[in-house]
C-alpha cells in the first residue's frame, strides 16, 4: 500500500466540495484584516455565509467569522452549520493524517512500536468522531458539501519526520480542534442544546489524548538530538502561526468573551501544555494591520 499520499489524493465522493483557496496569509509575518476576511469568505464558498459576513462587515463591525456568535442571534443557525461542517471536515483530515502516521513510518526501525499503537488508537477515535459529527450535521440541518473543504490542515501534517508529523497533526491540528470544541461546547450550553454540547464534550476527551501524543512524542523522538529538536521547534512555530488564522483569533479563553476562537487553556493544560507552551501559541500570530 502506498505511503506518503498527497493531499489531492485524499478520497472524497461527489457530495464534497473542495476549494483551492491559496490561504497565503497563513504563513505571513504581517497581514491585513481585509486580506484575511476576503480569503475566509472565499474559503467557506457559501453564498449565505458571504452575504452574512458582508452585512456584518458593511456596518463597520467585525465580520461574523471573527467574533463569537450567540445562540439568540439571527446568524446563529448559519454559524453553527459552518462550525459543524468545519469540524466534520477537520475530523476527516485528522483521520487521514493519523492513518498516515500509523502507516508511513512502519519501516523506521528506530521508532518505538508504541508510536504506531498510539497513532492506530487515534485512527479508531477519529472514525467515531467522523460518525458523531456526521450525525451532528443532521442535527443542525446541514448537509455534507454545503460548505467548501480546504486541505490546509492536512498539508501541515505531511512531514516525513515523525517528530514533525506529530507536531503538525497532534499538537497543532488537534490543538486547534480543542479550541474549536471549547467554543462549540459553550455555544451548545448557551443554546441549551444537550446533543451538541454533550457530544462535543465527549469527543474532546479523545482530542486531549491526541494532543498529548503530540506533546509526548515530539519531545521523546528528539531527546538527545538538539539539532533535530531545533528543527522540530522551528516547524512547530510556523504551524502555530498558520493556525492562528491570520492572528485574528482571541488569545486566551476568558480574556475576551466576544473574541473568535480563543485558546482553550484548560483543555490544553490537560493535554500537557505548560503556561509557557500556551503563551507561545497565543503569541504565534502575525502582526495584524487594518480594521479590526
CA distance between the termini of the chain? 48
Pick the closer one to other proteins by CB: 28 or 190. 28
Q: Tell the residue number behind the cell numbers 466576544, with chain if given.
A: 258
We find the least distance from the C-beta atom of residue 55 to other proteins, in angstroms, to be 28
Which residues touch 99 (CB under 8 Å, ≥6 apart)?
Answer: 119, 123
Q: Are 248 and 288 in contact (CB under 8 A)?
A: yes
How does DSSP assign 208-277, residue by residue? Answer: HHHHHHHHHHHHHTTTT-HHHHHHHHHHHHHHHHHTTTTTTS-SBTTT-TTBSS-B-HHHHHHTT--HHH
SS3 state at 31: strand
Pick the closer one to other proteins by CB: 91 or 161. 161
Query: In 65-103, which positions are buried (b, 16+ CB within 10 angstroms) versus exposed (e)?
Result: bbbbbebeeebbebbbbbbbbbbbbbbbbbbbbbbbbbb
We find the least distance from the C-beta atom of residue 181 to other proteins, in angstroms, to be 24
We find the least distance from the C-beta atom of residue 275 to other proteins, in angstroms, to be 26
Pick the closer one to other proteins by CB: 89 or 259. 89
> What number of other Cβ atoms are within 10 A of residue 280's Cβ?
15
We find the least distance from the C-beta atom of residue 41 to other proteins, in angstroms, to be 16
Pick the closer one to other proteins by CB: 196 or 239. 239
We find the least distance from the C-beta atom of residue 109 to other proteins, in angstroms, to be 6
Pick the closer one to other proteins by CB: 155 or 201. 155
Pick the closer one to other proteins by CB: 18 or 70. 18
Q: Are 87 and 133 in contact (CB under 8 A)?
A: yes
Residues that bind other proteins (CB under 8 A): 2-8, 20-24, 26-28, 104-105, 107-111, 151-152, 154-156, 158-160, 168, 224-225, 228, 234-235, 238-239, 242
**Opening angle at CA 192, ends 265 and 243, nearest 5:** 30
Pick the closer one to other proteins by CB: 64 or 222. 222
Residues 105 and 162: their CA atoms lie apart, in Å, by 7
We find the least distance from the C-beta atom of residue 7 to other proteins, in angstroms, to be 5
We find the least distance from the C-beta atom of residue 164 to other proteins, in angstroms, to be 8
Distance of CA 276 to the CA centre of its chain: 21
Amino acid at each position: 500500500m502506498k505511503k506518503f499520499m498527497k493531499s489531492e489524493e485524499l478520497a472524497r465522493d461527489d457530495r464534497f466540495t473542495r476549494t483551492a483557496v491559496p490561504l497565503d496569509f497563513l504563513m505571513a509575518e504581517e497581514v491585513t484584516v481585509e486580506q484575511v476576511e476576503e480569503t475566509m469568505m472565499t474559503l467557506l464558498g457559501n453564498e449565505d455565509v458571504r452575504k452574512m459576513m458582508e452585512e456584518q462587515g458593511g456596518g463597520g463591525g467585525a465580520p461574523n467569522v471573527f467574533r463569537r456568535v450567540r445562540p439568540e442571534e439571527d446568524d446563529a443557525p448559519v454559524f453553527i452549520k459552518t462550525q459543524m461542517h468545519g469540524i466534520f471536515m477537520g475530523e476527516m483530515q485528522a483521520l487521514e493524517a493519523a492513518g498516515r502516521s500509523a502507516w508511513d513510518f512502519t519501516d523506521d526501525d528506530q521508532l518505538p512500536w508504541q508510536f504506531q499503537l498510539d497513532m492506530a488508537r487515534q485512527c479508531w477515535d477519529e472514525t467515531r468522531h467522523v460518525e458523531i459529527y456526521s450525525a451532528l450535521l443532521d442535527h443542525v440541518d446541514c448537509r455534507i458539501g454545503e460548505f467548501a473543504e480546504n486541505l490546509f490542515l492536512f498539508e501541515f501534517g505531511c512531514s516525513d519526520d515523525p517528530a514533525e508529523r506529530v507536531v503538525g497533526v497532534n499538537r497543532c491540528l488537534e490543538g486547534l480542534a480543542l479550541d474549536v470544541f471549547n467554543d462549540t461546547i459553550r455555544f451548545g450550553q448557551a443554546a441549551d442544546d444537550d446533543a451538541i454540547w454533550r457530544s462535543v464534550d465527549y469527543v474532546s476527551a479523545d482530542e486531549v489524548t491526541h494532543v498529548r501524543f503530540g506533546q509526548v512524542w515530539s519531545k521523546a523522538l528528539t531527546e538527545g538530538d538538539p539539532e533535530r529538536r531545533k528543527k522540530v521547534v522551528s516547524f512547530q512555530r510556523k504551524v502555530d502561526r498558520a493556525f492562528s488564522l491570520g492572528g485574528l483569533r482571541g488569545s486566551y479563553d476568558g480574556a475576551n468573551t466576544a473574541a473568535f476562537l480563543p485558546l482553550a487553556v484548560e483543555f490544553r493544560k490537560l493535554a500537557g501544555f505548560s503556561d509557557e507552551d500556551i503563551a507561545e501559541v497565543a503569541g504565534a500570530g502575525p502582526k495584524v494591520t487594518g480594521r479590526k
